[in-house]
Amino acid sequence: MEHRIEAIDYLRGLAILLVIIIHIIAIQDITSTDYTNSELLFNLRNLFQFCVITLVVCSGFSLYIANKDLKLRPKELLVFYNKRLKRLLLPYWLFLLFFIAVHYLLRLATGVQLENISLKYLTESILFIGGISGLRFLIAAMVMLTLLFPFLKALYDRFNKLTLFTVLTLAYIATVAVFRYLPIDIWTAEWQSLGVIQVINFSLCFVLGWSIAYMLGFMIEKYYKDLSSIKREIQLTALFIVLFVAARIALDLLHTSNGMVLNKYPPSPYYLSYGIMMTFALLTLFFRYKHFMHKITKHFFDFFSTNSYWLFLYSALTISIISPIVRETRIGNIYIRFFVDVVLNLVGVVLLVLLQKKLIKAEMSFEKHHF
């Protein structure tokens, strides 16, 4: 079990690090910056897009292991939802208030408005329909998967795994086919003017795509239980390599963009198979070569894994403040400027997490001695 946990820690830690990096390159998927004008950084951003799928797979694994005995009973569901949604939403809402307060104080102190803070901004952030860039889609997807988890788990536990994934995949492919003829540009679409079938199909495609990745996390313990055999691991990784190549060929035949970002919302078979392929390839690597990881590297990824959610949240704040400042500096070389940007943002999020831990520890110590 120790091997299994460490491999997942490496994977989750790496994934959250890459999420921060791709958001530095371009905080929004529709935003063009001097970083995205660099072919190398643009390709790097595409290459790292698997990290979101990785986080979803890791989340599926962790939640399944922690809730193996969960049943579809009202009382158990209420306890589960109360616990999980609090862990997802309370930190997010607290961070929203902190984010808005910091930007409001910055505007008062400097007169510079880096974010258009308003009541509408706060409301849209809470409802995941706007607001803070780079946060809403992943958190909204995690909330959705948390709500679906008990039902996905019940299906996974009850039915033959091959049959279940085949049915889900066929249903997903059907929605992808319909989406090609009834597309929605999520960045510019006026949802109130869209057809009902369009919206329903988009929602099904979104839900089924992410649910397949999420449920693959349920399988990790089974497939990686026998550490003496690598056969299953190779088979699973090879399967998604084949699916990725097939999806890429299909995109070329249909003359559709093969950019990862443009295939992300909802997740296309190309994006999904690439993300799953990279996730399981890295997972196999971390399982098989645990001792290859240097002790310092291990502590680094352990920290990023354990604090992944708060690091993700705080990165939205540091990127919104640090990155604009770095891009205005006189560092002429774009790659040196990007490196400085990444380092400063990583230092910033780590310091914020450490400060938070210190404040929590101080508060607990105060309560212990005074109450």
Q: Residues 301-360: pLDDT tens digits?
A: 889 999 999 999 999 999 989 988 888 887 888 899 999 999 999 999 999 999 999 988
pLDDT-derived band at 210, boundaries 50, 70, 90: very high
pLDDT digits (tens, 9 = 90+) for 140-165: 899 999 999 999 999 999 999 989 99
pLDDT-derived band at 262, boundaries 50, 70, 90: low
- What's the rounded Cα separation, in Å, for the pair 262 and 258? 8
Residue 1 is predicted with a pLDDT of 41
Residue 2 is predicted with a pLDDT of 43
Owner of token pair 């120790």: 2
- What's the rounded Cα separation, in Å, for the pair 96 and 88? 13
Average pLDDT (51-74) is: 93
Q: What DSSP string describes 238-270? A: HHHHHHHHHHHHHHHHTT----TGGGTTTTPHH
Q: Between vectors from CA 50 to CA 48 and to CA 54, what angle results, nearest 5°?
A: 125
Average pLDDT (12-38) is: 78
Residue 53 is predicted with a pLDDT of 94
Percent of the chain that is helix, strand, coil (3-state, to 5): 80, 0, 20
Model pTM score: 0.89
- What's the rounded Cα separation, in Å, for the pair 139 and 161? 27
Residue 207 is predicted with a pLDDT of 94
pLDDT-derived band at 89, boundaries 50, 70, 90: very high
Average pLDDT (239-244) is: 77
Residue 123 is predicted with a pLDDT of 82
pLDDT at 192 over 70: no
**257: region left, alpha or beta (phi > 0 left; psi from -120 to 50 alpha):** beta
